[in-house]
Homo-oligomer: A and B are copies of this chain.
Amino acid sequence: MDDTRALSDNSYAGHLNASGATSVGYSDVPALMTGLGRRARQAARRMALASSEQKNAALRAMAASIRTRAASILAANAEDLAEAAATSRTPAFIDRLTLNPERLEAIAEAVESVAALPDPVGRVLARFERPNGLRIERIATPLGVIGVIFESRPNVTADAGALCLKAGNAAILRTGSESFRSALAIADAMGEGLERAGLPADAVRLVPTRDRAAVGAMLTGLDGNLDVIVPRGGRSLVARVQEEARVPVFAHLEGLNHVFVHERADLEMAKAIVLNAKMRRTGVCGSAETLLVDGACAATHLKPLVLMLLDAGCAVRGDAATQAVDPRVTPATEEDWRTEYLDAIISVRVVGGLDEAVAHIETYGSHHTDSIVTDDAAVAEHFLRQVDSAIVLHNASTQFADGGEFGFGAEIGIATGRMHARGPVGVEQLTSFKYHIHGSGQTRP
């Protein structure tokens, strides 16, 4: 379809007009994106200086606007759904795209819950006094302008926008094409909430076109007006962003997570953790994909673990030792150790102890989340130290890889890079810092 025409008279375009951007035609996507970036930067400057009260008032007003505009948001969603129905989408896809009054209320409540989080801006991260009397403080500040590129899930518009705003940032949101109208309706409600709190609506903007060129513009950094990109979605989206972005990216390409059952693992605990790590939800990035069993306990632990998985409906692909356990186990190939199934499938391998387990994880893993089950604290410490993943656990399920489970309140994603943010990216990770120095006339010798 022609985005330009479809959007020419919607409320978002009205916002743009109100901002003095009447000359931006959506057919000129580069100009549109340049303007979006420039206004986001201006908005970010105002947001950085907004008080906690003002930001929280805006979040509450956003939630209120989402509620009062429920009818129009649901109508927009109905249009999205009608279009999606005309294509051959999976039921799961349609389900993620679907809004209803209950889901919309949950979205509003999620925005309110962000208001209830502590303000990450202004925290004193460090404080030290120098021999010359200078008092130096490291103070948390916003990051700036955050670009979020996500799949067709309408709720992400509100979640991501709220988190960025809470940390004093401006957000440029790019939704998947299929949820475009729903996301636009929600973003409009958020803009209204910002303005009601005396803050600029430009602090949370949805890219107002489905044209793919808009993503390209974001990846180049919008003339220096985009500080970081958070891609949320499938592997191909994340891979493209990581490959092409000229600005930092907070993301994980995949969660190829392991559970290592050490020879000193309690079998019942190992069974509970493995079952939960693999089967609680198979489609989340924290799910386990490979089970490593210490050869020293294979005689006692391997068969019960494999049978438990098979009985739970999980397909097991194993090495020779694992295949010997049960005829339902199929052979694992080299490719299996590298595969993030995101499904009820697990690869299982017997390894010759701790070092071989670590070596397997470093060779095949994705540096996301890995767990060891053992009663030996020294072995556990060795594992936690050696495994170079964002999250390493001892005697707990990999499915705890989630900002909410960390107590971060909410997360915009999980990062496996080592720069700035690593692990769950919550509001604290959406901040930077600066140094405040108080003197009494000090000059440098």
A: residues with CB less than 8 A from B are 45, 48-49, 128, 130, 134, 136, 141, 143-144, 227-228, 246, 248, 266, 269, 272-273, 275-277, 280, 362, 380, 384-386, 388-397, 399-400, 402, 405-407, 418-420, 422-423, 432-444
Contacts and interface: CB of A to CB of B under 8 A. Distances in A.
Nearest 4 A/B pairs, CB to CB = A396-B439, A276-B443, A418-B432, A420-B420
Given A48-B388, A384-B436, A405 B441 contact: no
B143 A437 contact: no
A228 B380 CA distance: 31
Given A391-B434, A396-B441, A400-B444, 12 more contacts: A48-B388, A49-B386, A134-B396, A273-B441, A280-B443, A391-B435, A395-B440, A396-B440, A397-B443, A406-B435, A422-B432, A423-B434
Contacts of A440: 395-396
Contact of A276 (B136, B385, B399, B444): B444
A438 B395 contact: yes
B273 A443 contact: yes
Contacts of A441: 266, 269, 272-273, 395-396
A36 to B, nearest CB: 20
Chain copies in the assembly?
2
Nearest to A387: B434
Nearest to A129: B407
Contact of A419 (B248, B277, B444): B248
A393 B134 CA distance: 9
A325 B146 CA distance: 47
A422 B442 contact: no
Contacts of A402: 444
Contact of A248 (B248, B392, B400, B439): B248
Given A134-B400, A405-B130, A407-B130, A144 B418 contact: yes
16 contacts: A49-B385, A130-B406, A134-B396, A141-B418, A143-B419, A227-B418, A272-B441, A273-B443, A280-B444, A393-B438, A394-B436, A394-B438, A396-B442, A397-B444, A418-B432, A422-B434
Given A437-B394, A438-B394, A441-B269, A419 B420 contact: yes
Contact of A392 (B385, B389, B434): B434
Contacts of A439: 393-396
Contacts of A273: 441, 443
A384 B136 CA distance: 12
A437 B227 contact: no
B390 A434 contact: yes
Contacts of A394: 436-439
A387 to B, nearest CB: 9
A246 B248 contact: no
A432 B277 CA distance: 26
Contacts of A407: 128, 130, 136
Contacts of A400: 134, 437, 442, 444
A405 B136 CA distance: 10
A406 B48 contact: no
* Most chain B CB neighbours (cut-off 10 Å) among A248, A273, A443: A443
Contacts of A266: 441
Contacts of A48: 388
B397 A442 contact: yes
Contacts of A443: 272-273, 275-277, 280, 396-397, 399
A423 to B, nearest CB: 5
Given A136-B406, A397-B442, A390 B435 contact: yes
